[in-house]
Structure 1
């Protein structure tokens, strides 16, 4: 679903943005208002940082505090006329021919109002003329006026204006640019939904935290249809971030302040930044370069013995490049390439830069240079640049190695078909065993992640085995098969193939095969419950990947943190899993790696198990948007199930149904890194939200059997725990106890303890289960256990214990982001509801008639009414309306 604006402009729709991230500055203004001696409050900062927006908020707060208010905007034009900026605020009839007497008269007239002080906002105060500044200072000193002013950093101003900013009675704050976290909060407040992390990364980088630039970038992307929302999250089309005409005008005006002699430096920086200071001074004298720095257009950075120059804002380069004529651009690029070559191209990135500049200038470059540059780009994980360089190679210079690198780059960008075409050609031309093996490794991975049946990827591996005879080569293909078996949902079989994988990578020739095995082995270990070993392997693989990244054709080293998130979650360390995952996800976003979709999947799962459905929904929405972008159905299937489960638990049944509808039309595939059973969470929890607990348990029980058949022990434990929570504790408790014996870590025992306590309906056991669940960070499970304990104690007349357990449940539930489950809503009964009574009560509370309930449960209407009567008695209600209010069940379709 995309945003549609009917009869209203995007700029009007967005309106005035909320003020976010300026709490300390607003606190400072509150302090200024409370200070009877305060005469002014001045906000400083760079252009577009949000000074005017903050000053407006301050003026509104002054008005709310009883001040009479006024506004003025200084400008260069108004500054040429004495009192030009504030003439509209002066009382009529005051003779200003004698400034001393006239200014005193103005103060007297303004003070003669209804006894309230004035608060005056003066925007761009540094542009005020001297007469206006002197008058304002007199009004401030006489106590008539509280000045709220904005001043642009780095702008010159006279002594009179300086006097407005000076003295102990004037409060001053300087606004920094917004941090990424503040930008995220601002965008969510302005757009009404969460923004995907890649969109946040792009908008943060492009705007540099400048609020004006950020707003225009968002408006431009909305207008162009490049920033859209899918009902869950806003995401940005790949490679698209258009601005607006206003943004171009604002930046163009800023750049026009530069001396014409410095323009060549700005143009070259727009194409080739950062530059050595010597290269900038080759185009303009040192004093001109210094003037550009003084004007805030360039930044000079000293790093040991190297001094570099760059533009102060990324959007300056966009505007400058857009205005460069073709031949001027060509000349600048070729001259800079020649300049670096003349110095010997000694630095690591010089070859990449030279190749890129020559290619951009002429459309071609030396083939050897292009190949060397592509290697550097690939090792920097700049996949788009790698593709650009390799596609520029003439056909006669393309080799198996370049084809392998190009196919891998296409894979990392999610361009499956192009990757397969390139890799198939590379495979056909591969001669030596090493080339054949290298192509097989990348090609099978590409097929596995695409929507091809897993049998196709396995067939490629088998074909490679037929062509490779060396023990070392065949061993690598065995490792690759283990990688594929685990990735396609067969952890037990995959682990058997990886059983003798070395604990360390031994030499560069083994890097890619070892990293594949070392990445997938901890997934397999975590899925079969060996979480301690899984965490150790994940840490080992990450360290090794960092060390050998230059020699690898495997994704960014941060991908090795994905199985660590799974292992930590199943070990009962969700907070640690979240920290590790979010840090690694930021790295993967910066590298624009496709594999980040799986980190989002497992971060969502970690939050779901922690009992935070809103946060889980946000991560799964991010994963879904990515998976749709790359047509990555293997990830999309479990994600849509998770989205539906979160929405159902939060009471958003329409959204849950929409996710399941999309899930149903996906092609059938191997289950992937999660058990096929976990895809059923959405269906089960939607049924539960509609009161159909028996059907929900049936779905979960079948899903648990599917997980067990493939060896996914932790997935089976997750599903059986939900069976227990939905009224099937007696059926699930024994198997969960077995799984607790087979799985290490604290989470599996906590799950088993909860099921046993629910089956016994024993308040002491339920309290202990709440302790165990809280210890492993499972907040919603802890809240349910404490709620059930409170209910059990209440039924036995132990009101003090019941009250303590209820308070504890409420405290834990406050962290669960509005989650509502049947166990929470039906625990208020004076006697325990039977499984059937609970199910019928929830169905009735959802608005279903007795006849419809009887039909769906294959019971007689009389039996339904009898169970309902018993539930009424236990819950202390007499009507269905009271029943619905007591259970807080959503209405049908809510």
Structure 2
């Protein structure tokens, strides 16, 4: 760890305390009150440091339970001549404080633990005003009357210190660790510590030491289950160990079953003990919930009790709670899941039906690990085929494809109904395709079963085939298959395959109406069938991608934002997928800074989970974002890894992978190569009849300086009528004609569409076209607009934007390209090979550039262009 962390979020508190310490409003110091761990001592220490730095004398003391038994025990260190006579000691202490400068500061930590004589001395000092006081006390703890009189009589300002807010807690976490923590991990730490700085530091220290909290790609991740260490248990346990047995029972019941209805808690324990536990601040009653429910006052109290109360006791208590809850009707999947989890860890016999219903509920709540655990328990207790299918589905989604295949392969086929057989085949085929990356085996599973399959099974297999063809980059057959499937007659998993395949294929060919219609059907399916809940998140990815291809950027962002909000606090990989989809939408908007932040965070988690299919898909998008932000070296390195780990379930985005390469070449200055790669991507899309993707590729080629696809874009605009195709066609035409006015209009259209990056580049091209026509005023206006839009993107760089930024240099585009390659350290021969020209031609370009700029050699040329590009 980087260290104990800075003092976070206490600026206003420090101001008030310093004013009281300096005598504002007649105060003679301050009292800092609060629960254990909120930072009272840390704040008092900061005040002491500030006093010491101002050359003010400071004496400190700490109240403790052991020193409390000795008269003046806490203040003994202040006595120059120890004596056994208490009156002499008091006189000595008072005299020592009065003989010093009135600027002296006395700091007393945990003053509620002072003995009566020590408290009397402190009160006497405050009363006479012979020193200023910094005092801390724990809220809710009894304190000597002489201490409480310090604030009740108005001598000291009392400040009740609240726990840190969520943002302050996150800032402290980053300060302690030295780098940021991913959102889901920060949420888990917040849920446990709730702004208590002391608890946070102990927890982080424990989890870093154990290796459960670890850094990956510049972010800290906490993925494993939390266990209570001895240090944390000791920190919290003493207060609990002194409780009466009846109150401990209340605490343990709430610890194992919160939120626990108050009626159930009262039935299982003593009502007076419930009231005492609440009064002691150990539990709280949530009056807003219906019915009223009891919760732990702080999450770590529950963790400590569950870790220290003893397994036999806790299992017995859980059994009592489950039996009491059985009399109440379940209110939803959360209630069923909670009962099953309690049941699993109780002394009651396993109920396979309850566990299966709870596993489905966990799937609906997108808690995949819990779903797998409950389904496995149901299966072991005799839950049968349904439990096995549910478990295999969860294993597949958890990226544990081999285990899922083992479960499915072991199921006896002869006893399965048509519906279950269809689900089994669907799961096997999709597992082979997505998780195990064996597409040919996936196809064989479908082909071998189709021959003599009953109608329901055959229709399910056609649904699987639809998504197989779609992800293979074969959209027209996928559309045919998807349209033929009646999603009301097949299992949910098969229905969602047909919907996925249709959305992917319709998005690729540019049928945006069919995309929206089919996606809406999928969302309705996910709401009604628990089994389809996770597939809804996958559907959002394909839906957002299709909307961006069509140019419906605002709608794509809205769909992604809704999913991000729903997923961010969910367990497992789900939150990372939601974050990645939000990053995809941000990239489509041209918001590069946000896209990089979200895609990088999601990619780091996919890497830490070793999830190849997601690493491949979102590695492409992250590389594109890096390249568009001008980070060509990082983009190229990532693309090298992406290329080596190509995943067959994403063949349909191969043109997108090539576009990422094109942007990477452009970021490194090889603009003509970049344009050629973009055109190659367009050819790939055309060969696969992915018309919407072809539009995107040809648009990017224009951004990279090649408008030779203008006629093809005009044809695609006429055939697809998508918003993007129409604007891209106008863009290519205006760029080809060097029409500044038309390019300016295109920039406006891109901006209205929501693609700020495309708008910035079109504005830059308009500026260059106006400059070419010697319309300097219009050129400067559009250039300023381009640079403003580029800044809004968060650092966008394109060839046109670079040329606009440094257009005062009289260089041709080819000269700029060659000098950019010199900047990268390439020799003239290497440049010639890369650009397919002779070495003499390269030398000629460099010679003319030196003459124009007054430089003496290629190195000065590179330095000049580098300076202009900053």
Give the TM-score band, short-chain normalised.
0.7 to 0.9
Structure 1 segments unaligned to the other structure (5+ residues):
1-12, 112-116
Residue among 676, 687, 690 paired with 2:668: 690
C-alpha deviations, 1:696-741, integer Å up to 9, x for none? 3333322232233334444434433333333x33334444454455
Q: CA–CA distance in 2 between the matches of 1:761 and 1:149?
A: 75
Structure 2 counterpart of 1:178, from 159, 162, 165: 165
Contact 2:34 2:40 in 1 (8 A): yes
1:420 to partner: Cα distance = 1.7
- The one of 571, 596, 606 equivalent to 1:592 is 571
Match of 1:301 in 2: 286
Q: Is 2:526 the counterpart of 1:545?
A: yes
Partner of 1:331: 316
CA change 1:62–1:757 in 2 (3 A) is: farther
Give the aligned partner of residue 617 of structure 1. 596
Give the Cα–Cα distance (whole angstroms) in 1 for the partners of residues 184 and 47 of structure 2.
34
Q: CA deviation at 1:416?
A: 1.0
Aligned match of 1:114: none
Larger mean CA deviation between 472-481 and 81-90 belongs to 81-90
Q: Which residue of 2 aligns with 1:847?
A: 825
> Hey, what does 1:707 align to over in structure 2?
685
* TM-score relative to the length of structure 1: 0.82
Report the Cα distance in structure 1 between the residues aligned to 2:642 and 2:742, rounded to whole angstroms. 39
Instruction: Give the TM-score taking structure 2 as reference length.
Output: 0.84
Per the alignment, do residues 852 and 200 of structure 1 end up closer, same or farther by CA in structure 2, a change over 3 Å counting? same
Within a 5 Å distance, the mapping from 1:30-429 to structure 2 comes to 37=25, 39=27, 44-53=33-42, 73-77=62-66, 106=97, 109-111=100-102, 123-124=109-110, 126-127=112-113, 150-165=136-151, 170=157, 172=159, 174-179=161-166, 181-237=167-223, 239-242=224-227, 244-282=229-267, 284-302=269-287, 306-340=291-325, 343=327, 356-357=341-342, 359-361=344-346, 365-393=350-378, 397-426=382-411, 428-429=413-414
Distance 2:148 2:258 in 1: 37
Alignment partner of 2:442 out of 454, 457, 467: 457
Name the CA shift for 1:608/1:102 in 2 (closer, same or farther; >3 Å): same
CA distance in 1, matches of 2:807, 2:119: 73
Give, in angstroms, the shift of residue 842 of structure 1: 0.7
Show the 5 A alignment for 1:659-670.
659-666=638-645, 669-670=648-649
Aligned-partner Cα distance in 2 for 1:529–1:41: 69
| CA–CA distance in structure 1, aligned partners of residues 723 and 21 of structure 2 | 54
Change (3 A) 1:860 1:488: closer
Corresponding residue number in structure 2 for 1:837 = 815
Shift, 1:152, TM fit: 3.9
Q: Distance in 1 between matches of 2:132 and 2:767?
A: 58
**Correspondence for 1:638:** 617
Per-residue deviation, 1:462: 3.5
Q: Indicate if the aligned counterparts of 1:68 and 1:119 stay in contact, CA closer than 8 A.
A: yes
Instruction: For 1:101 and 1:596, locate their aligned partners in 2 and report how far apart those are by CA, in whole Å.
Output: 64
Say if 1:91 and 1:106, in contact at 8 Å, map to a contact too. no
Cα deviations across residues 807-828 of structure 1 (Å, max 9, x unaligned)?
A: 4444333333344444333331
Residues 421-466 of structure 1: per-residue CA shift (max 9 Å, x gap) = 2223337244432222232233333222213332332333334433
Contact 1:641 1:680 in 2 (8 A): no
Aligned residues: 863
SS across alignment from 1:468: coil
Which structure 2 segments of 5+ residues have no match? none
Query: For residues 608 and 357 of structure 1, do their structure 2 counterparts lie closer, same or farther at Cα, with a shift above 3 Å needed?
Result: closer
Task: Tell me the CA shift for residue 223 of structure 1.
Answer: 2.0
CA distance in 2, matches of 1:305, 1:699: 61
Partner of 2:4: 16
Give the distance between the partners of 2:120 and 2:558, measured in 1 at CA: 55
State the shift of 1:15 in Å.
0.3
Give the secondary structure class of the aligned counterpart of 1:723.
helix
- Alpha-carbon distance in structure 1 between the residues aligned to 2:576 and 2:191: 21
CA distance in 2, matches of 1:758, 1:732: 11
Structure-2 change in CA distance of 1:791 and 1:427 (3 Å):
farther
> Larger helix proportion, structure 1 or 2?
2
Shift of residue 676, structure 1, vs aligned partner: 1.0
Alignment partner of 1:731: what SS?
coil
1:162-192 residue CA offsets vs partner (Å, 9 max, x unmatched): 455465994746424432x555454445445
